[in-house]
A and B are shown apart, each in its own frame.
Chain A
């Protein structure tokens, strides 16, 4: 039992379960999953579906944080990806054409690779602090997205594009399947090959890993490219779901939620050690928090307050200094003051 509670994913998982169960009191049918037209429907499926962009962004963020960096530009990359895709689809003579949609998706992801390279080169070649290097793209990127869409919300009515965010395949939402595939690939690459260890080595000490013959520079750039591609896919899911590109709303403040998810998942912000499963769990937990406050009937914006409390509690519980203070208090609690 103590081994279970000591597992670093135990507390996030426990909080998630408590959150989901508490929903039953306000929405009795919360756990019921129905099959309708061969699709699965239900609140749990909704939690999964609504969490997909955040899970993807948090996944990329985890790898970047593992190298000792941070990526603030993910929200802007989401907006740019959605803008590019919707712009290209809007220009298609026939929006039903699958080839055209695939081309638009490829263009969005290709652009994300370029943006990721930009971030990675700034951090590892020029040697700028990650938070600042990515701040540039965070500020300018949203401007670029607005420039692409001329500040308008671009609506598209393309059934093939709609599939990405709102479609179903084998009774499951396509977006969830996409995310599951990306997570699986990321886990395979990092845990079934030496890649994960190398990334952790770079995060723990770039100098030592370079002396050990690891190509730290290339790995760091790769991490930022991965984060940007994840963000682009998240942007595609987001804009496909609402069938439009909204440069202001897409990915607004998602970088903070993603960092929060990573921290909840037990990855230290100092780098050198990471848990992809933890970040996925953290991201689902944050989405569940949003949905729970919604079902309880609390105004959606006040989830921020809950998030603040969660961050504070998590950070304090991860802080060795805080644990030392609390444990000492508890030990001397019986003694006269």
Chain B
């Protein structure tokens, strides 16, 4: 990878025209996603009655708040050039552990931090294995996936309902803007996570190191950046986001089930890629990931509105979009080189 893909804050001062050209190129994938999102929304409004209701758009957030959080964590990992296959399994494990402990009568105030800590520690462990033992991220997180999914199956193979008052309150609480227009608390939590993550990536030393590692890990090391610490931290962040996503999913479903969130790692990766983050790392924005999640959610909504289309069209459309965006990325990076 060339150094062209460094984040905006570290770019040396350049003539205005030149800087604008670089900036444009980096923004192309995000802008394409945005255009696609707007176009798709427009198609929906034009074709289906009631599609223009504000609540339809808000429901995309409500139904995908957990994916938004998970994808935010995944963005950090992919920006360093890594990958985290364990997220879906960690989400499932979180819901199972939370439901089991709540069922056993533990107070929510204890369960909540405990499950968040569990995901974070799992992420920390995977990061440590990847860094210290030079195990490939793909394999280390694959092991994490087997481990988390296996653990949740071991704890309980059946779906466990959650009846805890705090959980049901969180599930039912609606923040209303106008009659019939509302969001859930999960959306608020997800948006806070996204804002914090975007700030960290754009304005902190940690964020810059993440981009630098993805650009070229060897150069980053030679520059004296804390590559090892950052790499471990990135998987820790992803682990935390996965368990938080699990908590949000358990708010949404009000149950813990070992088969929850199957294949979610691929949804998260797809969202990040469609959002324009380079899979080789080093380039992309969290805002793109948010757009990617919204695009996936909007496809689902349109398919629901269409009624005659089956849900498996979602997968085919996501596949086609992935293909389009990856080829686009390829063209953009090739020109940058």
- On A, residues with C-beta under 8 Å from B are 70, 126-129, 131-133, 135-144, 146-147, 150-151, 256, 259-260, 263, 269-270, 299, 301-309, 311-312, 315-316, 319-322, 325
Contact = CB atoms under 8 A, between A and B. Distances in A.
A252 to B, nearest CB: 9
A305 B138 contact: no
B320 to A, nearest CB: 7
B91 interface: no
Interface residues on B, range: 35 or more
Interface stretch (B23-31, B144-152, B235-243): B144-152
A315 B143 contact: yes
A144 B143 contact: no
A147 to B, nearest CB: 6
A129 B82 CA distance: 13
A147 B310 CA distance: 8
A145 B103 CA distance: 39
A307 B315 contact: no
Contacts of B83: 131
17 contacts: A129-B280, A135-B322, A138-B266, A139-B315, A140-B315, A143-B312, A143-B313, A143-B315, A146-B310, A146-B312, A147-B310, A147-B312, A256-B142, A302-B150, A305-B151, A311-B146, A315-B143
Contacts of B151: 305
A263 B147 CA distance: 17
A263 B133 contact: no
A146 B313 CA distance: 9
Nearest to A148: B312
A17 B141 CA distance: 28
B146 A305 contact: yes
Given A140-B320, A143-B319, A299-B153, 10 more contacts: A129-B279, A135-B266, A140-B322, A269-B139, A305-B146, A308-B150, A312-B143, A315-B140, A319-B134, A321-B134
Interface string B142-172: 1111110111011001000000000000000
B153 A322 contact: no
B132 interface: yes
A142 B136 contact: no
A307 B146 contact: yes
Interface of B: 83, 129, 132-136, 138-140, 142-147, 149-151, 153-154, 157, 258, 266, 269-270, 273, 279-280, 310, 312-316, 318-320, 322-323, 326-327, 330, 334
B266 A142 contact: no
Contacts of B322: 132, 135-136, 139-140
Given A299-B157, A308-B143, A308-B150, A136 B138 contact: no
A126 B330 contact: yes
Contacts of B145: 256, 308
A133 B326 contact: yes
B64 to A, nearest CB: 17
Given A132-B273, A315-B135, A319-B133, A304 B146 contact: yes
A320 B134 CA distance: 8
Nearest to A118: B323
A128 B326 contact: yes
A301 B153 contact: yes
Given A144-B316, A307-B146, A151 B153 contact: no
A309 B149 CA distance: 13
A150 B326 CA distance: 29
A210 B318 CA distance: 34
A138 B147 CA distance: 23
Contacts of B144: 308
A259 to B, nearest CB: 7
A144 B133 CA distance: 40
Contact of B139 (A136, A302, A311): A311
A319 B134 CA distance: 7
Given A256-B142, A316-B133, A302 B266 contact: no
A319 B133 CA distance: 6
Contacts of A140: 315-316, 318-320, 322-323
Contact of A128 (B129, B134, B330): B330
Contacts of A256: 142, 145-146
A299 B153 CA distance: 9
A144 B151 CA distance: 32
A-B pairs with lowest CB-CB distance, top 10: A140-B319, A143-B315, A305-B150, A304-B150, A308-B146, A308-B147, A146-B312, A301-B153, A311-B143, A143-B316
Tell which of A133, A299, A319 has the most Cβ of chain B within 10 Å: A319
Tell which of B133, B144, B146, B279 has the most Cβ of chain A within 10 Å: B146
B142 A311 contact: yes
A304 B148 CA distance: 9
Contacts of A147: 310, 312-313, 316
Contacts of B258: 301
A197 B318 CA distance: 38
A147 B323 CA distance: 19
B139 A143 contact: no
A309 B83 CA distance: 20
Nearest to A268: B136
Contacts of B154: 299, 301-302, 305
Nearest to B89: A304
Tell which of A70, A138, A142, A143 has the most Cβ of chain B within 10 Å: A143
A146 B315 CA distance: 10
B133 A321 contact: yes
B138 A131 contact: yes
Contacts of B132: 321-322, 325
Nearest to B315: A143
A142 B315 contact: yes
Contacts of B280: 129
Contacts of A270: 136
B319 A263 contact: no
A133 B323 CA distance: 8
